[in-house]
Amino acid sequence: MANRQEENEPLLNNQCLEEYHDEEELIPTAIPVANFQDADLGPPLEPPPFDATPPPPVMPGEEPPPYTPGPPGAMPMINCRVCQAMISLEGKMHQHVVKCSVCHEATPIKEAPQGKKYVRCPCNCLLICKASSKRIACPRSNCKRIINLQSAMFPANASAPSTLTTISGYRVVCAHCNQWFRFPHHYALARCPYCRKVSSVGPSYAKNRCIVYAVLGIVFLAAGIGVTIATMELAKNQGGIYFVWISAFIVAILNFMRSCYYGSMKVSNIENEG
């Protein structure tokens, strides 16, 4: 009979059921704290200083940042490569990159697809390009930076980081497409990386070249006319003099054509930064 009564008794009493109900509703309860005097608490703790040092860029061939798996059932996390905030990887393990909810920049969690590589622009934009690329442009409208990838000494899948350099120099506005790009010289010809057309950086270079070739053309033209007049009687007996005449006039024409080329060349202006 005693065993029969024990079997009919409920497994949990009313007190236990109430506590279990509280856990189901996830009602937070405050932990009782002993009464302390203000003198016993001590001064408030200051938060640790914020490290504002920017993270290093993602180099081509670089492994994604490692993450340490937590205990079973815990949510996998990873550090953002830009702001170092924690990013949850729950439901994202099949992706190659994840987006940070703090800085809204991308962080790779897997290696780049075969034949591709990751490059992070100085503006923190994560780019993916061909492993054989030597020069890329940032697609962001407020950046448009040209990045040189000098990775000739390392294979595409090597673990050694490649050198990531950004062209420094003058900010030039293309005369053909009105896009701006960096160019190291202010007195030279430049080919726009966007439209691939050549223009003069500043008006001085094209103007000076136009004058120089025009003067050379006039000199050779005058020399050809002078030689022609002076050797007209002699050319009747020596046919090789005709070759000298023709050569002088051809050189003069080529110089005039070169002068016209520089004279009609469009000029890309240097934009002041500041």
Per residue of the chain (274 residues), give pLDDT as tens: 544 444 444 434 433 333 333 333 333 333 333 343 444 444 544 544 544 444 455 554 555 555 555 555 567 788 888 888 888 888 888 888 888 888 888 888 888 888 888 888 888 888 888 888 888 888 888 888 888 876 433 333 333 333 344 445 678 888 888 887 778 877 888 888 888 889 998 888 999 999 999 999 999 999 999 988 888 888 778 778 888 888 999 999 999 999 999 999 999 988 776 5
Q: How many domains does the chain have?
A: 1
Does residue 154 belong to any structural domain of this protein?
no
Does residue 173 belong to any structural domain of this protein?
no
End-to-end CA distance of the chain: 96
Note down the domain range covering 267. 201-271
- The share of the chain scoring above pLDDT 90, in percent, equals 15
Q: In the beta sheet, which residues pair with residue 77?
A: 88
For the entire predicted model, the pTM comes to 0.41
Does residue 252 belong to any structural domain of this protein?
yes
Does residue 227 belong to any structural domain of this protein?
yes
Q: Write down the catalytic residue from 100, 121, 129, 210.
A: 129
Q: Distance of CA 58 to CAs 131, 145, 157, 159, 190, Å?
A: 14, 16, 14, 12, 30
Tens digit of each residue's pLDDT (9 = 90 or more) over 102-126: 888 888 888 888 888 888 888 888 8
State which H helix or E strand residue 126 sits in: strand 126-130
Rounded CA gap, 122 and 129, in Å? 16
- Catalytic residue status for 129: yes
Name the one residue in this structure whose structure tokens are 């990751």: 118
Does residue 247 belong to any structural domain of this protein?
yes
What is the full DSSP assignment across 178-210? --EEEES-SSSEEE-TTT--EEEESHHHHHHHH
Q: Which amino acid is at 69?
A: P
Q: Which amino acid is at 232?
A: M
Does residue 232 belong to any structural domain of this protein?
yes
Does residue 54 belong to any structural domain of this protein?
no
Does residue 217 belong to any structural domain of this protein?
yes
